[in-house]
Chain A
Amino acid sequence: MKDIREDIAWAKINTDVLRSLENPRKLYWVILLIAIAMIGVAVGCEIYQYNMGMGVSDKNNSHVWGLYIATFIFWIGMSHSGTLLSAILHLMHADWRKPIYRFAEAMTTFSLMTAGLFVAVHLGRVWQIYYALPYPNGRGVWPNFQSPLLWDAMAIFTYLSSSILFLYVGMIPDLAICRDNMNPGWRKKLYTALSLGWEGTDRQWRNFRVTYLTIACFLIPLAVSVHSIVASDFAMSQQPGWHITSFPPYFVAGALYSGCAAIITLFIILRYVFKFEEYMTLPILKKIVRLTFAIAMVWTYLNLIEYATVWYGHDQASKDVLIQKATGVYAPFWWTMNFCGSIVPLIMFFRRFQTNIPVLFAVSLLLNLGMWLERWMIVAPTFSHGYYPWTWDSDQWPSLIQWGIVFGSFGWFTLLFMVFCKVFPSVSMYEVKEMVYHRSLATKKLEATGKLAAAGKGAH
């Protein structure tokens, strides 16, 4: 089966995609309102927490981190697949990424924006957050460059700005299409400003290609390093269950994994909502599913490695944490995590499920549940079962304030994503055209070679 029909007219592509920018249906507003309400919950919780102190989130002196950090890692992880699709696969000339990378890249940006909020939400004195930045000051006071948390702050900041840049630069030709197809109004003004006078000249295309490629090259190591650094928050510490060498690749794998799962989810939703069946085709879905399956297996492997090194290692404390995860108060979550992360993806191994949209939708949600639990299971059990038995504390259960903010973060992400979908083309028009063009060229070539073969002139 072909990734895309080669005979789609370019004008049809424009119309189809631009249709997604038209005035939304009622349902859109309903969902948008729900998202805003979710954000409202989180904002309310945060205001309360800001006024009362971090205590209302129900963490304590031995259990100082909670869902905020876990969810922070989750969102950071979510961001990675966008880069995978848009940058890595771009360099690898995987054409099938073209219809779907735009929304994936948007997902990257928005999940980073969500993750960044959790850093702020987590801090005891969020009003002093700028202390963590190496801004020049007369007192010679610098942040501590030894702290992985500082690396984190910098890495995320860099990654976020690069991602925004990458998303924007990649959109310029499409913005020009939008500009050219819009009736006068705010949108027209917006696209005019944003498309930076794009006219599609050869010189512009050449510069565009070079810029885009450069940013892509820059973004790849950045993406890998960001999650390695997030992993360093744990791996660089001395705590049992955290200081594990395999954490950076494990985190990166987990990040790609959850990101791919999220792409499947959004793919299915967008395909349905915007009727993008022509572009977000089942063969493409199949490719993502296969990719996700491969990453799931890598993740499972790294996970098993982690268990094995802990189990056969000499560090009794780490081993105790592992046993605690499997048998203690966190056992239900830990086993769910393993089930969702390693067993559920096996469904994707079967060809007939690789294009089964309802099954895949459910699977992708389960995978993300598993990956969220994975992050929580990295953060929490070490606190409740660390080095010092006197302070072991298993009663720590996140308060509704924590849950409220975690809940609201999904609303925030949804809001950003939905606004994006209505303001910017969520399918890259020019690249789909390229893809169709390549496709048709290939078909022509095939037909030509077929003719040749049929003519019995033999192959060289």
Chain B
Amino acid sequence: MSVSNLLENWSDVRHTHPVDDVPHTPYKWAMSIDLDACSGCNACSVACYAENNLAVVGKEKYEHGHSMHWMRIERYWDEDGREFPDQGAQFLPMMCQQCEAAPCETVCPVGATNHTPDGINSQIYNRCIGSRYCEANCPYKVRYFNWYDYPTTDNVWPAEMNQQLNPDVTVRGKGVMEKCTFCIQRVTVAKNNAKNEGRLVHDGDVQTACQQACPTSAIHFGNLVDPESKVYKQWQAQQVELDKDEQTKDKGTEEGGVSPEGEGKLRGYRVFEELRPYPSVMYLERVRESDI
């Protein structure tokens, strides 16, 4: 590839959020997480460890902030100064938001983090040189660096434990950045299967590990350009659009916008939409009963 070739085909090399000339087709993977259903139980997080060969770093390294949980459950309290949290806590599963205009992608000096044509923010471990610029620029801080060489660290994957490692997922050595991949290994299998059958991936053909485990089915994952998919329907119903930085909900009154029918209010939102990373994960606000 010559430099001139590179310059001529620049738009193929850098691919950001869908614009008219580069629409997402036939796939755009996205997620929706219903915070009213999420109970904060951590099953998704453990399932992620099991699926994606995440290292258990141990107490000392956890203390130093070296944990590797691609999916972390955040627990927030009310900030109104009440003596007891009498409306419970707020849980938020946070993982890579697979931004369409990902702040991490533009800054990587070697292009190790990239946008796939189907809208996943991918990480090429082989290419990563460990500058950590991507994490520095990530507003959500959902990238995890291999501060140590976990495969050779005592008691991370000792004999026998290493037999559990998922052969579809690379075991990362020291010095590379990693993060949630939307279980790309599962997506790839589903895409290949569909391709063999001469069709597109149907909704439900592929589940992410967190989604599959989630006891309250709070997580949905699917193809945002497939009108049959649950995710598409949810995003539609909440009038959340991928390439907007302000949604219907944010317009109108301060408490939240009114849907066109005027019947009820919407609860779909994306975290830090105003920073315009155009994340692919929509959250549904947690609901609390007003009568009690």
Contacts and interface: CB of A to CB of B under 8 A. Distances in A.
A and B touch in the complex (CB under 8 A): yes
Interface of A: 52-55, 58-65, 122-126, 128-129, 131-132, 134, 139-144, 146-150, 152-153, 233, 236-239, 383, 386-388, 390-391, 393, 395-396
B110 A238 contact: no
List 10 A-B pairs, minimum CB-CB distance, nearest first.
A124-B130, A60-B65, A140-B1, A55-B147, A124-B175, A144-B111, A125-B175, A64-B132, A53-B148, A53-B174
A54 B129 contact: no
A81 B147 CA distance: 36
A143 B107 contact: no
13 contacts: A55-B61, A59-B147, A60-B147, A123-B129, A123-B131, A147-B110, A149-B108, A149-B109, A150-B110, A383-B136, A387-B141, A388-B139, A393-B65
Query: Chain B contact residues: over half helix, strand or loop, or mixed?
Result: loop
Interface string B1-29: 10101100000011000000000000000
A122 B110 contact: no
A239 B137 contact: yes
B205 interface: no
Most chain B CB atoms below 10 A, which of A55, A62, A390, A395? A55
Contacts of A233: 133
Contacts of A237: 103, 107, 133, 136-137
Nearest to A60: B65
A59 B66 CA distance: 8
Nearest to A238: B103
Interface of B: 1, 3, 5-6, 13-14, 61, 64-67, 72, 74, 94, 103, 106-111, 127-133, 135-137, 139-141, 143-149, 174-177, 272, 275, 277
Nearest to A243: B137
B174 A124 contact: yes
B145 A64 contact: yes
B198 to A, nearest CB: 31
A54 B141 contact: no
Given A124-B146, A142-B1, A65 B66 contact: no
A439 to B, nearest CB: 50
Contacts of B147: 53-55, 59-60
B110 A55 contact: no
A149 B108 CA distance: 7
B111 A53 contact: no
A239 to B, nearest CB: 6
A132 B110 contact: yes
Contacts of B129: 123-126, 128-129, 131-132
A60 B109 contact: no
Contacts of B1: 139-140, 142
Given A143-B110, A147-B108, A236-B107, 17 more contacts: A52-B149, A61-B66, A61-B141, A62-B65, A122-B131, A123-B175, A125-B128, A132-B109, A144-B108, A237-B103, A237-B133, A237-B136, A238-B103, A239-B136, A386-B139, A387-B272, A390-B141
B109 A144 contact: yes
Contact of B74 (A62, A142, A239, A390): A390
A387 B275 contact: yes
A68 B26 CA distance: 44
A148 B141 contact: no
Nearest to A240: B139
A58 B64 contact: yes
A387 B142 CA distance: 12
Contacts of B143: 61
A63 B109 contact: no
A53 B106 contact: no
A147 to B, nearest CB: 4
Contacts of A134: 3
A65 B3 CA distance: 32
Nearest to B128: A125
Nearest to B7: A145
A149 B133 contact: yes
A139 B177 CA distance: 23
A125 B127 CA distance: 10
B108 A53 contact: no
Contacts of A131: 110, 127, 129
A416 to B, nearest CB: 26
A125 B74 CA distance: 31
A390 B94 contact: yes
B132 to A, nearest CB: 4
B232 to A, nearest CB: 28
Contacts of B175: 53-54, 123-125
Nearest to A150: B109
A124 B139 contact: no
Contacts of A140: 1, 5-6
Interface-centre pick from B5, B136, B148, B175 (highest chain A CB count, 10 A): B136
